[in-house]
Amino acid sequence: MTVPWYSISALVTKSALHKPATRLYPFEKRAPYARTRGHIQFKIDDCNYCGICAHKCPTHAIVTNKKAKTWAIDHTLCILCNSCVDECREGCITLSNHPLAPLGPADVARFREEYQAPPPPPPTEVELTPRDPAAP
């Protein structure tokens, strides 16, 4: 059993002489790992608007329109699951390993404007009438 004050003071001295474990963010930023899920990037050149990416997206972050030839992604809904990256047959969608900078309110509003949310699903018929507790 080690003597506590010795090991604690050894740890404290080592930490005091060591350089800080933190970095001066935002002046120094850590380089992300190769696999870090940063954000989804899209190149419209090869896209044929097949709509598979929008179909597979679990949060409906992607909306495409074949006739109007538009493709939009709402980054605030995207959960970076990479289903779209895996499914795109033309290779238009890639994952970048730099996370997006936090979106200001103007950017979010702009995304939401260009982006047309899918119509909300008709509600399933579940009527929840609270049961009268006085009834036997």
Enumerate binding residues for other proteins (CB under 8 A).
1-4, 7-8, 11-12, 15, 21, 33, 35-37, 49, 51-52, 54-55, 58, 60, 62-68, 79-82, 86, 116, 118, 121-131, 133, 136
**How many CA atoms are closer than 13 Å to the CA of 78, on its beta-carbon side?**
26
- Nearer Cβ to other proteins (26/121): 121
Q: Distance of alpha carbon 103 from its chain centroid, rounded?
A: 12
- Nearer Cβ to other proteins (66/89): 66
- Nearer Cβ to other proteins (46/65): 65
CB 37 within 8 A of CB 71: no
CB 99 within 8 A of CB 32: yes
Q: How far is the CB of 93 from other proteins (least distance, A)?
A: 14
- Nearer Cβ to other proteins (52/108): 52
Q: At a CB cut-off of 8 Å and minimum separation 6, what does 58 contact? A: 79, 81, 83
DSSP string, 81-104: --HHHHH-SS--EEEESSPPPPPP
Q: How far is the CB of 26 from other proteins (least distance, A)?
A: 18
Q: How far is the CB of 108 from other proteins (least distance, A)?
A: 21
CB 107 within 8 A of CB 93: no
Q: How far is the CB of 124 from other proteins (least distance, A)?
A: 5
